[in-house]
Amino acid sequence: MTRYPHLDPRPFFLPGGKTGCLLIHGYTGSPPEMRLVGEYLAGQGLTVAAPLLAGHGTDPADLNRCSWRDWTDDAARALAELQARCSQVFVGGLSLGALITLYLGAHHREIAGLILYSPALIASDKLIHLTPVLKHAIHFWGKGANADGDLTDPEAVKRLWSYENNPTWAAHEVLKLQRIVRRSLREVHQPVLIWHSTRDAAIDPRCGQMAYAGVGSEDKELVTLHNSGHCITVDSEWELVARRTYEFIAARATA
């Protein structure tokens, strides 16, 4: 069902100061992929929350029972809980989590800033476009032996709790959310920090620039990495990612 089951896929919460950061994991993944960045931010005094999205962290069949609204609703609830504790909240997400981050940004203007890690605006696997039909015949398709093969740190994959296959019904929901978010990019006006790696094999190489050009924000930055795979929050450059994330937040947080 999953690789490295010693990891705990449950949500985590790290208490800190009045500035909060919500960290949202990716498709078929779980909160451990946000743990390194989260602990770094908490070490700088931020309050950090990383929710578990519906259908994740259990069994792939559970994910096939979910819609994209289940995921955005989960994130919105986690945002509200963090806002109840903090005076200002930033939101960051990886891959699908970045799509949800953009969705929240378009619907919650009070969010102080957005951090997009490998935003999955377009998937590299074209099979996703067949899922509206394919899901009626095949409920799962394998990720293959080279899943996460773009990671450069041999220890990075051991920081990932994820399903070993792709639930087809849920993949169609990702496709729906991609289309919705791409259409609403201009509605995002918060400061945005966008991360993209040239080694990323999971998303279209245009995604970083697409997010940068598409958002309506005046305060936006695109950072390109060259020694990380798709899951940049656990790979060779994660410390740079964490540090620059904190600097982005600290420069825009109110006292």
Alpha-carbon distance 226 to 199, whole Å? 6
pLDDT per residue over 55-102, tens digit each? Answer: 999 999 999 999 999 999 999 999 999 999 999 999 999 999 999 999
Which fold is adopted by the domain 12-252?
A: Rossmann fold (3.40.50)
Copy the structure tokens of residue 13.
């919460």
* pLDDT at residue 146, rounded to an integer: 54
What's the average model confidence in pLDDT over 33-41? 98
Give the pLDDT of residue 142.
83
pLDDT tens digits, 185-235: 999 999 999 999 999 999 999 999 999 999 999 999 999 999 999 999 999
Q: Express each pLDDT in 107-120 by its tens digit.
A: 999 999 999 999 99
Q: Which amino acid is at 227?
A: N
177's CB contacts (< 8 A; 6+ apart) are 68, 71, 72, 96, 99, 100, 103
pLDDT band at 144 (very low <50, low <70, confident <90, very high): low
Q: How far is CA 91 from CA 48, 62, 80, 143, in A?
A: 10, 26, 12, 28
| In contact, 114 and 190? CB cutoff 8 Å | yes
The domain limits of the chain are: 12-252
CA angle, residues 219, 92, 182, in degrees to nearest 5: 70
First-last CA distance in the chain: 45
Q: How far apart are CA 23 and CA 31, in angstroms?
A: 8
> Looking at the predicted structure, is the pLDDT value of residue 1 above 50?
no
What mean pLDDT is reported for the chain?
95
Confidence class for position 133, pLDDT limits 50, 70, 90 = very high
A 10 A CB-CB count for 206 gives 12
- pTM for the model stands at 0.96
Q: Check residue 143 and give its pLDDT.
A: 81
